[in-house]
Structure 1
């Protein structure tokens, strides 16, 4: 008898998980549609839905106009996306960016805080905690929080190595945040989150093999292979390493242009590129040549990735993706000329928000896994 009771309980949980997933993946469904899709009886579906309504994982929809003319209207349900929220955070050298989203992935709020690259690790962590608290204000505790950061991030959420943020190497970021944020916390490499965002809502939607090139105050790569994020054997996928020499070499032309056009202003490599792009848009031929040379340097580096991986798409992201055709077209021309199977090259539409948006997507994925595990 105990075994039969256990079997019945397990079957109930499995049916509940199936119905919740149907609601999660769909829009508005009736009890009949739920029962058919989950392959259960209508009374079973109705009992499970009542439980989900009580737990606020589902909500009943209002009648549609005209329902009463057809007799008794069918009850209609959907996943209760506003029952909770998640927070995705991008931790950079110069800024912290947080996005709050409901459980359907609708972005509710975006908050940005400027920080110094020299900010001590403890203060940077405190700033992340404060930003999450502000992002969750008024909505209760978040269902999940995902933080994206530059550097090699292991499966425990520890920053194994970081060359972009001083004092960041060795920080047990996930453990530090989990002790101060009353919600499940995950930490992931920012470039992997960026390509995840592109696959979810950006230029890479519908593609399975993608190279994401981040361009800004540093360079980075994100790889999607066979529709799956590539982490690498040491979780170092996406990190280019110490860019002190190669980075300045790639940016040499735009740095030289900025110094010659406006010698009184000291700019970082990324700021020099932004300055050159702005002047190129105004028709400055010297700026156009500098930006094209910069783009060609980037393309030369991409060749070593594109030829062996054979991607369908290259997405140019980060702050410099706003250059659009000024960057994309020279990169495309070079890859067309020297690669075996040239991928399409496009500019990201997500810009500087890609990492935070990818963090939101990973938080939703984590919530789905835990939600269905708890139900089943």
Structure 2
């Protein structure tokens, strides 16, 4: 059997990676189109495609109507998205949420479990691993896992600082999960993943400068600048921190309202806001005033971000994005009044799924850099 030289072997890997990237682009293509796009001969393209078919990275498409009208129909191929799976996980104080997706980003399964905000770090780690294991569709096809978590996350996947989750500061999250999960594990700040999801499949698609405002049981920010995620010099971009004023006090009006109307129910800040929003929609004027005060507090904090960054878009995300105009309109009015170039303010359509979906995108991006790229 003739062995390929090192140069020939590398050239074939480069050509294979080029053809695989073309197929991954989502188009159904013929051999002739593949050869032309990859700048290789048709026989070379055919040999590579046969190899990709055997490895299940590509699949041959059925004939389309009219293919047989003139001569032999051209063979057509596309990327085989179900050849592998990725899992994206959102690690929050009150919940763990996972999404399992194929390599085309099609969501195959979603799982959510409630956790206590006081859960010890070791138990939270066990719960994350358990959720990942329960989310695996086919262990032979699992290719990568990405995790989003609150707090400052460095390039090694360590939680440098977290004020939202007890005992989370200093946790070597990526290393700890990598010891328990037998595929590449990536860890990133949850707000950066949320804005990544919005840019991928949400209301920020097509925009290059975006501020993502997370509203839930806490407030967070994600920044997209020039079409790229902004991490900052200490990977702390977008972190609000443990402030005694500003965003932290934004919930005061909705908390006071919930306690006055229903004092027997203990609610988190986010639940208080949801309660006020629901009552405002029912026509409760006092609830509407509390929600507007909440929105204006958010808007006042946004001014300090919008004026220096000059974004095109502000996305109101997280669980409270379902409030829609009740939050968006007061924020838009305030920014229109006090900023030089007011950005458009819109509510996310991804809601509480944005972090997990962004984690899916992060895992897919990792595979794009590794599986689908050949290097010398």
Establish whether TM, by shorter chain, passes 0.5. Answer: yes
* 3-state DSSP of counterpart to 1:194: helix
8 Å contact from structure 1 (residues 16, 375) kept in 2: no
Partner of 1:45: 45
C-alpha distance in 2 between matches for 1:135 and 1:244? 39
Q: Which runs of 5+ in 2 are unaligned?
A: none
* 3-state DSSP of counterpart to 1:124: helix
* 3-state DSSP of counterpart to 2:237: coil
1:361 and 2:350 correspond: no
C-alpha distance in 2 between matches for 1:193 and 1:157? 14
8 Å contact from structure 1 (residues 212, 314) kept in 2: yes
| CA deviation profile, 1:15-55 (whole Å, cap 9, x unmatched) | 11111111011321000010111111111111111111122
* 3-state DSSP of counterpart to 1:358: helix
Partner of 1:295: 295
1:262 and 2:285 correspond: no
Partner of 1:127: 127
Q: Which runs of 5+ in 1 are unaligned?
A: none
| CA deviation profile, 1:149-169 (whole Å, cap 9, x unmatched) | 001000000001110000011
8 Å contact from structure 1 (residues 52, 58) kept in 2: yes
8 Å contact from structure 2 (residues 219, 248) kept in 1: no
| CA deviation profile, 1:294-313 (whole Å, cap 9, x unmatched) | 10110000000000000000
C-alpha distance in 2 between matches for 1:121 and 1:355? 20
C-alpha distance in 2 between matches for 1:183 and 1:257? 47
- Taking the TM superposition and a 5 Å limit, the aligned residue runs for 1:281-320 are 281-320=281-320
1:164 and 2:171 correspond: no
Partner of 1:187: 187
| CA deviation profile, 1:183-226 (whole Å, cap 9, x unmatched) | 10000000000000000000100000000000010000000000
8 Å contact from structure 1 (residues 149, 189) kept in 2: yes
C-alpha distance in 2 between matches for 1:19 and 1:78? 10
C-alpha distance in 2 between matches for 1:245 and 1:166? 21
Partner of 1:147: 147
C-alpha distance in 2 between matches for 1:342 and 1:373? 41
Greater mean alpha carbon deviation, residues 35-44 or residues 87-96: 35-44
Partner of 1:81: 81
Kindly report structure 1 stretches of 4+ aligned residues shifted beyond 6 Å: none
| CA deviation profile, 1:128-162 (whole Å, cap 9, x unmatched) | 11111111144535101000000100000000111
Greater mean alpha carbon deviation, residues 75-84 or residues 253-262: 253-262
Q: Return the TM-score normalized by structure 1.
A: 0.96
C-alpha distance in 2 between matches for 1:244 and 1:201? 35
C-alpha distance in 1 between matches for 2:9 and 2:158? 39
- Taking the TM superposition and a 5 Å limit, the aligned residue runs for 1:343-354 are 343-354=343-354
C-alpha distance in 2 between matches for 1:47 and 1:58? 13
C-alpha distance in 2 between matches for 1:137 and 1:6? 38
| CA deviation profile, 1:84-133 (whole Å, cap 9, x unmatched) | 10000000001000000000000000000111111111111111111111
Partner of 1:231: 231
C-alpha distance in 1 between matches for 2:346 and 2:239? 21
C-alpha distance in 1 between matches for 2:232 and 2:213? 17
* 3-state DSSP of counterpart to 1:361: helix
8 Å contact from structure 1 (residues 87, 98) kept in 2: yes
C-alpha distance in 2 between matches for 1:93 and 1:207? 30
C-alpha distance in 1 between matches for 2:40 and 2:141? 34
Partner of 1:337: 337
C-alpha distance in 2 between matches for 1:63 and 1:373? 30
8 Å contact from structure 1 (residues 273, 291) kept in 2: yes
Greater mean alpha carbon deviation, residues 6-15 or residues 346-355: 6-15
- Taking the TM superposition and a 5 Å limit, the aligned residue runs for 1:56-71 are 56-71=56-71
* 3-state DSSP of counterpart to 1:372: coil
* 3-state DSSP of counterpart to 1:59: strand
8 Å contact from structure 1 (residues 141, 182) kept in 2: no
8 Å contact from structure 2 (residues 197, 354) kept in 1: yes
Partner of 1:213: 213
Greater mean alpha carbon deviation, residues 57-66 or residues 216-225: 57-66
8 Å contact from structure 1 (residues 17, 375) kept in 2: no
